[in-house]
Chains A and B, each alone.
Chain A
Amino acid sequence: MEEQLIEYAPAPESRAAVTLRDSYEPFIDGEFAPVAEGGYLTSVNPADEERLARVGIAGKAEIDRAVAAARRAFTTVWRPMPGAERGKYLFRIARILQERSRELAVLETLDNGKPIRESRDVDVPLAAAHFFYHAGWADKLAYAGLGPDPRPLGVAAQVIPWNFPLLMLAWKVAPALATGNTVVLKPAETTPLSALLFAEICREAELPEGVVNVVTGAGDVGSALVNHPDVDKVAFTGSSEVGREIARNVAGTDKRLSLELGGKGANIVYDDAAVDQAVEGIVSGIFFNQGHVCCAGSRLLVQESVADEVLARLKARMATLRLGDPLDKNTDIGAVNSASQLERVRDLADTGDREGAERWSPPCSLPEQGYWFPPTVFTGVSQAHRIAREEIFGPVLSVLTFRTPEEAVAKANNTPYGLSAGVWTEKGSRMLWTTENLRAGVVWSNTFNKLDPASPFGGYKESGYGREGGRHGLEAYLG
C-alpha cells in the first residue's frame, strides 16, 4: 500500500447516547422479568471483547409465559383491534425508532461490531422504514391480493440472526404486527441488546402488553420456542442447516413456516461493465457488514478479458478500506461478530489455501483485542473449491472467470443456494437476459445490496422460502 501522506484522525462516535444496564431480562407480557432458572449469558463488544452486559437466558417457564402472553394479547386485544388503530401503533414505533436513532445505532455497533456508518445510515433508518411501510398496510390488507378478508395466523415465533439484529427484528416484527399477529422474538445470543431496547420502545409506544415478547438465549431457546405447541407461525432467518431442522420439526403440524437462509451470491462482471462502478459494487457486495450478509456477493464472476484489470482496480480499492474501531465514523470494516464466527471464517479461508487458491489481503494491521479478519480475496478459484461453494459469512471474496454469458449464468446457478446475484453490464438486453436466467430471489443490476421495505426479499432453492418485504411479505403472516 502506498504510504498515505495524511492519515485520518480518529473520529469516534460518542458512547454517551447509550446507557447500558448491567443486566437485562427477557421481555414478557410488557415486563422485563427475571429468569427463574435459565442463568445468564454475557454479551460482549466484539471489537474489544469488553463485557457489555449480562442477559437472562429464557427457560421453559419464560417461553411458556411469553407464548401464553402473546396468545392472550392476540385473542383479546390485537386481533379484534381495527387495522387503522394497529397501524397507528406501528407508526408510533417507527417514529420512536427515528427519535432514538443515535442511541440505537451506537448500541448496535457496540453489541455487533459493525461500523457506526452502517448502523447509523443503513440498519436503523431501514428498520424505522420497515415499521413505517407496514404500518400503512394494517388497514389495507384486503387490497394485498390475498383475498378480501385475510386473517392473521395467531402467535408468531420469530428467530433472528446476529448480523443485522435490529433490522432483522424489524423485518419480522413489523409485518407480523401489521397483519394482526402477536410475536415472541428470540434474538441471537451474541446480539440481544437492541431487541431489548426495542422492547422498551414498545413500552414507550404503549403497545398493548403481550403483543411483542422477547426471549433471550442461544439456539436451544430458539428451538424450544419454534417447537412450542401453541405457536401458529414460525419465521426464521439464519443458516440453511438450522432452517432444515426447523422445517423438519414443523412438518406435519399446522404451523406456517417462512425461512430466510444462506447464500453464495454470484456477482457477474461483463467486459462492458463500468469498471469503477463495478468495483464499488464488488466491495459493497462482499465487505459490507464484514461480509456477514446472507445475500453477499461472495463469488465474483468476471469475464476473462477484463479480469486482470478488474482485479487490479479491486485490489487498489481494497487497499483504501479502513479496518478498525467500529465506532469511528471513518471505519469501513468492523469486527467479526464473535470468536466462534472468526474461527469459522479462518477455517474456511484456510481451506482456500489448501485447495490451491491464491489469497490476497491489503496490508492492514489488525487490532490486538477483539475478533478481526482482514478483507480478503482469493483468485485462481475453481467451482469445486469449498470457498466457491460454502457460505463463509465473512469478508472473503472468491474470484472465478468466465468467457460467455451462458457460462456466467451456468456458473452463477451452480449452487444449491439461490438468494442473490449481481450483474454488471452497460448493455440493457444482456442485463435483462442475465437477470432472467439467474436462479436467485434478488438480482441487483449495476448496483448491489440495495434493500427496501417495499421490495420483496427472499431466496430460491436452499436459500429458503417465503418473501419478506413488499406485498409479498404479508403472505407469510396471513391465512
Chain B
Amino acid sequence: MADTRQKRRGSEEDSAPRLAVRKTYKLYVGGSFPRSESGRSYPVASPEGEHLGNASLASRKDARDAVSAARAAFGGWSARSAHNRGQILYRVAEMLESRRKQFVAELEAADGENRADPRRAVEAAIDRWVYYAGWTDKFAHVLGGANQVSGSYASRSTPEPTGVVAVLAPQDSPLLGLVSVLAPVVATGNTAVVVASETAPLPAVTLGEVLANSDLPGGVANILTGRTADLAGHLAAHADVNALDLAGAGDAAAELEATAAGTLKRVLRPEREPEWFADPGIARLASFLETKTVWHPIGT
C-alpha cells in the first residue's frame, strides 16, 4: 500500500503542497563549488522581473583563486593527448545532452534574447562541444606546418596553447554564447577563467555542474558569477593571465584592452554583432594559440 506521505508534489491527492528545494548557485573554481570568499550574492531575475535565485558575487580574491586554479591545471591539461582532450569535450556534450530539458527550462527563465527558441540554443550549445571535440587533434595540422627553409635544416611550426585565458562571456547569450567562447579555449589546451553573463548567470553555474561531471580536470574551466565590471579589470591586469577574450566586455572593452597592454596579453576584441548560431569556423581556436618554430640541423 502506498504511503500517502510520499506522494509527489503536484499530486491531486496532496493535502499540503511540497516545499521545493531551491538551488544555491555557487562559483565553479578548481573543480569545486565554493561560495564567494566575500560571502556575498546578488539576486538574479528573469527579464520580466521574476526572482530566479541568488548568484554568488565573486570578489577579486575569487578571481585570483580562479587564476591560480587555471594556472595549476594548465600543465596537465595542455600535456594531455589531443585525442584525450577531444574525448573529454565530447563527454561534455554527452552530459549536456542528458540534461537538455533542464537547460531549456533554465534558459527559458533566464534568457531574454534567445528566449524565442531556448531549445535551439541548448542544442546548438551541445553541438558546439561536439564541433570543438573534433578539432582538438586537427588544428595542429591546419595551423602548423613544415617550413621550406634554405640549408640543411628541419624547421617546423606547431601551434601551442597560450596559457590561462580570461573570458568575459557574452552578456546576452548565457549558454550558447558562453559555450561558444569557452569550448575553443579549452579545446586547444588552454585553461579558462570565465566571467558569466552578469544578468543571466544561472545557466553558467549549471554548466559548471556539467563540466564537473565530464572528466574535465578541475581548474581547466573556472566559472565566476558577479559583476563583470568588478572582475574584468582585475583579470585584464593579472600578470598570470596570458590572454583576454572581451566578448562580453561591452563599453569597457577599450579600457580593458589598454589594461591588458601592461602585460602584453593577447586580446580578442568583441565582435560588433556576434551571431552565436553561425558556424564558428576556426578563428576562436586560432586566437589563443602561439606558434612555436623549432629548428634542427639535418646531417649524418
Q: Which residues of A contact B (CB under 8 A)?
A: 129, 145, 240, 243-245, 247-248, 251-253, 259, 261, 416, 431, 435, 440-447, 450, 452, 454-458, 460-465, 467, 470-472
Contacts and interface: CB of A to CB of B under 8 A. Distances in A.
22 contacts: A145-B143, A244-B264, A251-B257, A251-B267, A252-B253, A253-B254, A443-B292, A443-B294, A443-B295, A445-B296, A446-B296, A447-B296, A452-B155, A454-B147, A455-B157, A456-B157, A460-B292, A461-B242, A462-B263, A462-B264, A470-B145, A472-B145
A458 B258 contact: no
B267 to A, nearest CB: 8
Nearest to B242: A461
A460 B290 CA distance: 7
Interface string B261-299: 111101100000000000000000000001111111100
B191 interface: no
Contact of B264 (A445, A452, A457, A464): A464
A407 to B, nearest CB: 16
Contact of B147 (A435, A444, A452): A452
A129 B150 CA distance: 10
A457 B266 CA distance: 17
A461 B264 contact: yes
A374 B291 CA distance: 35
B162 interface: yes
Given A247-B257, A252-B255, A463-B264, 6 more contacts: A129-B150, A442-B292, A445-B296, A452-B153, A470-B157, A470-B293
Contacts of B162: 460
Contacts of A129: 150
Contacts of A440: 292
B296 A431 contact: yes
Nearest to B143: A145
Contacts of B150: 129, 452
B294 A458 contact: no
A445 B295 contact: yes
- Most chain B Cβ neighbours within 10 Å, of A251, A454, A461, A462: A251
Interface of B: 142-143, 145, 147-151, 153, 155, 157, 162, 242, 253-255, 257-258, 260-264, 266-267, 290-297
A379 to B, nearest CB: 28
Contacts of B151: 450, 452
B293 A456 contact: yes
Which of A447, A452, A471 has the largest number of chain B CB atoms within 10 A? A452
Given A447-B296, A465-B266, A470-B145, A441 B290 contact: yes
B145 to A, nearest CB: 6
Nearest to A457: B293
A248 B261 contact: yes
A463 B162 CA distance: 13
Nearest to B147: A455
Contact of A145 (B142, B155, B257, B291): B142
A252 B257 contact: yes
A44 B290 CA distance: 39
B261 A456 contact: no
Contact of B261 (A251, A431, A441): A251
A455 B293 contact: yes
A301 to B, nearest CB: 17
Contacts of A456: 147, 157, 291, 293
A447 B153 contact: yes
Nearest to B254: A252
Top-8 shortest CB links A-B: A252-B254, A247-B261, A251-B257, A452-B149, A251-B258, A455-B147, A248-B261, A445-B296
Nearest to B263: A462
Nearest to B257: A251
A294 B177 CA distance: 40
A445 B295 CA distance: 6
Nearest to A445: B296
Contact of A442 (B149, B253, B293, B297): B293
Contact of A240 (B155, B253, B264): B264
Contacts of B293: 441-443, 455-457, 470
A471 B267 CA distance: 21
Given A455-B155, A470-B157, A450 B295 contact: yes
Nearest to B152: A447
Nearest to B296: A445
Contacts of B296: 431, 445-447
B264 A261 contact: yes
B264 A247 contact: yes
Nearest to B158: A436
A244 B155 contact: no
B79 to A, nearest CB: 9
A243 B145 CA distance: 28
A447 B149 CA distance: 14
Nearest to A428: B296
A295 to B, nearest CB: 11
Contact of B149 (A145, A252, A454, A460): A454
A472 B153 contact: no
Nearest to A244: B261
Contacts of B147: 452, 454-456, 470
B50 to A, nearest CB: 37
- Which of A244, A259, A472 counts the most B-chain CB atoms under 10 A from its CB? A472
Contact of A252 (B143, B148, B258, B295): B258
Given A251-B258, A454-B147, A471-B145, A444 B295 contact: yes
Contacts of A455: 147, 149, 155, 157, 293, 295
A280 to B, nearest CB: 12
A150 to B, nearest CB: 12
A416 B240 CA distance: 10
Among B149, B260, B294: residue with most chain A CB under 10 A: B294
A458 B295 contact: no
Contacts of A416: 263
